[in-house]
Structure 1
Amino acid sequence: MTADASCRAVRADRAHERIHRLEFDVPWPPKHVAAYLLEGEEPILFDAGAPDDAGETELREGLAEIGYEPADIDHVVVTHVHSDHIGQLPVLRAAGATVHAPARSLSRLERDLETAREGFREMTTAAGYEGDRYTEIVEEELEELRRDRRLVEPETARMIEPDATVTIGGREFETFATPGHAVDHLCFETTVEGTTVLFSGDALIEPFRAGAFQVGLDYGADEAVDAYYEAMDRLAETDATVVFPGHGPVFEGPQAVIAATQDRLDTLLEETREAAAAVGPASPLAIAEQRVGTVRHMAPLLDTLGALGTLEREGAVTYETEDGVRYYEIA
């Protein structure tokens, strides 16, 4: 090992000593979600783990293992508003922490419920759902919005702007707007003990690509994959050498994972094009079922809907609408 490499390794080890990983169990793959405590005069927690009593127990036990308790956390920084990343915000807020959330998160949480319902209805129909399942999905989307409002409490949270330099707890961060997995997603870059690190949430994960959920079944769901590619282009500008993700292991060398994520998006587009060719004209739901088999959860449908949007804008597929349902076929 060269002297420079040895120095980088020492700095990286020191950075790891200042950043502590807390893990929470979740019922969906990969069965865990991570939050990170960054030590300092004003300790900062990145993301807030899973909701409910089990999540609170894991939060308290995880903090206790490193000599902390919720009252010691001065700031909580939210990478994106999904339940496994905001679950314990009420506990931390009650203990005195200031919550910082992406600007777009707060504006979406403050939407009128009836306006939101209209978007959920239109896109759930467009995807091909009907009957009881259609009603269930619309109500689930509304309930998720209500839950996220309660957890984040947007009227008290501090807004974080994308693609900016922000100061939190006396420390400067560069923010990267990284939509695709979530329309509001931000990544945060800073330097700790001489090592530039990135808190990547779910935008950049080494062993897999998080789903292109973007907005759920709402207006803009078909923009998810385009947004994901744009997020990777932005992240290519990071100077970080160590990445702390929301799932999977901490890893080094983000550029290789950015390239792998782009390759995974390419594969999604090709699989979706092949599925549309096999069954079209067909709804996004039918194309998703052709691509992956039975669609029990929303992730394959949202991936497919996002991919169809990209393929349509590229001229590879077209669609016609009948009774609100989109029917896609190869152009």
Structure 2
Amino acid sequence: MIPSKGRFPRLRAFAALLLAILALTACDRAPEARQDQAFVLGTLVEITAVGMEKEAFHAAAGAAFREMRRIHDALGPTDEDSALAAFNRAERGEWTPLDGPLSALLPRALSVQRASANAFNPHLGRLVALWGFRAPPFPEAPPAGEAVDALLDQGAGDRALALRRHDALLARLTRPGAALDLGGIAKGYAVDRATAVLAAHGVENALINAGGDLRALGSHGGRPWRVGIRNPRDRDRVLAVVPLHDGEAIVTSGDYERFFRHEGRRYHHLLDPATGAPARAARQATVLGPRATEADAWSTALFVAGAPGFQRLGKEQPALVIDTAGKAHASPAMKARLDWRSEEVAAP
């Protein structure tokens, strides 16, 4: 599974196809499945449901896609008319009222930032832009180290986002090097909102796959939905299969989504706030939880922190990290859920 960061790259659709196949073949005698898909948030979003009439399903799926587009329109970091871009244009230190998706999402982003000791950072926007990872084509070489250091000196990787409530929720950026970029959490939030829309339209059993950020409703023929965690170095193979129960979400962050090679080294879009450069602790990190929003943010945090980040996430949270040597590490809760399939990578 491949998460969306920044401008939500289309590359995540490759893993989505494999995951959908696993989900649909989970039961030998499954009820008829209906599917609808749309290109939303810069990736292929697929909704699969069972036990529904065609017209009712497509009406529900259409409403879910519209909700996801609304979130994209508000949170696009380079769209001049988005709420996020308007916030970034405000003077540093100026308190700005929040509404819509920003109001709902920023408190949750800050919560994960604190809990992860800044491994997840929602305001690396200037660094992401400097590295050229907004959208393809990606650069052929890294930026000058002096330019990265200059942004770090201006607080790009620090905790530079503050919230307060005065009638409405207000926020401000406190350092000149900081700019909001919610790519590490926005797609998870969109999946959660789409799930709520489906439920409101009477959908009881469905799986939303937003290019790799997944959340389940109900079951698939009375059994859990089953999804695969891909091998980060072979997109055609899975490491393991994991059951998803009603309401659960699973998200993966990997170094294979947006990257370029320079002088034999891979440079990817998942930046370490401490260095301003691509994180070097993992190839891939997966988090399973009750909401896609937090799973999305924590998968980024674990990618940056590596397996030691399990201590902050908590033993009861299912999580899997593939380190830079290709070794698998799993939290106790994830070990209990994994149906390991890989012959190339040893089970954790």
TM range (shorter): under 0.3
Higher helix residue share? 1
Structure number with the bigger relative contact order (C-alpha 8 A, sep ≥ 6) is: 2
More strand by share: 2
Larger CA Rg, structure 1 vs 2:
1
Compute the TM-score of the two structures, normalised by the length of structure 1: 0.26
Q: State the TM-score, normalizing by the size of structure 2.
A: 0.25
